[in-house]
Amino acid sequence: MRDDRQKLVDILTAAQQAATFVEDLSFDEFVESELHHNAVLYSLGIIGEAAAKLSDETKHTYSDIPWTEVVGLRNRIVHGYFDIDLTVVFEIVKQNIPELIFVLEKIVPQLSSD
């Protein structure tokens, strides 16, 4: 079973991947590339799934991360896949994901890897 540190590493890795997938793309290029938006959606799904499995203690400790919204996005992607707004997805990856990466890059190294 993966511990919370491993889950946070998973979230960080998936966030970094999502950011990389769009770093050189305009919004129009992103929308036109099914490969890129599917890759980003997959990464966001991993982020939300790992976040959903974090302990309440970890979520409370790092309450500056909007865990409810992170998990909610995953649920929207998985259950509302037919109605995904790529404008919102692109904005999340360009605006919110870098903030998440910034926070997690400070948190993860401080955690024990026992």
Does 79 qualify as catalytic in the annotation? yes
- Report how far apart, in Å, the C-alpha atoms of 73 and of each of 10, 29, 62 are: 16, 22, 18
Does 37 qualify as catalytic in the annotation? no
For residues 44 and 50, give the distance between their C-alpha atoms in angstroms, rounded to a whole number.
10
Q: Which of the residues 36, 37, 74, 76 is marked catalytic?
A: 74
Q: Which of the residues 5, 37, 76, 79 is marked catalytic?
A: 79
* Three-class SS state of 109: helix
* Catalytic residue list: 74, 79
